[in-house]
Amino acid sequence: MKRIKAIYPGSFDPPTNGHLDLIERGSKIFDELVVAILRNPEKDPLFSVADRRKMLEAMTEGFDNVSVDTFEGLTVDYALRIDAKAILRGIRAISDYEYELQMALMNRKLQPGMETVFMMPAEKYSYLSSRLVREVAQLGGSIECLVPELVEQKLREKMDVALKFANGDRPAAKTPSDGKSKSRKKKA
Ligand code: PNS
């Protein structure tokens, strides 16, 4: 019987509930789905590839036919190497379409047999992106319901480390308003 393996490539910095929604949808139409994290030495990500892998592995442990991997170089080369027949990508809104179309057609040019399959995540995630999640978290806003709990926890840890690092420049000098921290640290 023919089994269809697909890859779901991306940066996942960090993975969001929108990604998880797409993974769930993809796992229903493909026999095997590999979530493939791009190792991009030119980018300066918030989370290391190892952290992103751990988060995605935890998020997808309930899916029997989903695995997580990392890759470098061209997506189509990686897909070919692991014998995947399709590339899964999400389209949230019309604004995604142009870039995704461009990528899909370039991938087809590079590897004519490789199909790109687009799926739409749930409408409630249509405004959600890793970039916005990073920004909101970094500025102290709530990202509850936008990312799985473990990702929220990891983001909080990152923000705490960043805060400690920033405060390290100004050693704990007591101020007149002693006891009242001026930090933006969120309550646990
Ligand atoms: O989550 P992202 O950042 O939107 O994912 C983009 C990604 C990783 C799918 C894309 O940048 C990619 O495929 N990069 C690998 C290099 C490559 O194949 N480039 C040609 C794509 S047309």
Q: What is the pLDDT of residues 55-103, one digit of tens each?
A: 999 999 999 999 999 999 999 999 999 999 999 999 999 999 999 999 9
More confident residue, 183 or 135: 135
Q: Are strands 5-10 and 66-71 parallel, antiparallel or unpaired?
A: unpaired
Residue 100 CA to residue 89 CA, distance in Å, equals 8
Tell me the CA–centroid distance for residue 36 and ligand 1, in Å: 10
* Three-state DSSP class for residue 61: coil
Cα dihedral 136, 139, 141, 145 in deg (nearest 10): 30
Q: Best mutation site among 72, 89, 103 for ligand 1, i.e. most ligand atoms within 8 A of its Cβ?
A: 103
**CA 100 to centroid of ligand 1, rounded, Å:** 10
- Residues tagged active-site: 19, 43, 92, 130
Instruction: Flag whether the pTM goes above 0.95.
Output: no
Distances (CA, A) of 62 to 4, 29, 57: 20, 16, 9
- Look at ligand 1, atom 2, and give the residue with the nearest C-alpha: 10
Q: Say which residue the tokens 């990202």 belong to.
A: 143
For the CA of 76, the nearest atom of ligand 1: 18
Q: How far is the CA of 140 from the centre of ligand 1 (A)?
A: 29
Q: Ligand 1 pocket, 10 CB below 6 A?
A: yes
Helix (H) or strand (E) holding 88: strand 86-90
Using CA atoms, how far apart are residues 180 and 110, in angstroms rounded to an integer? 59
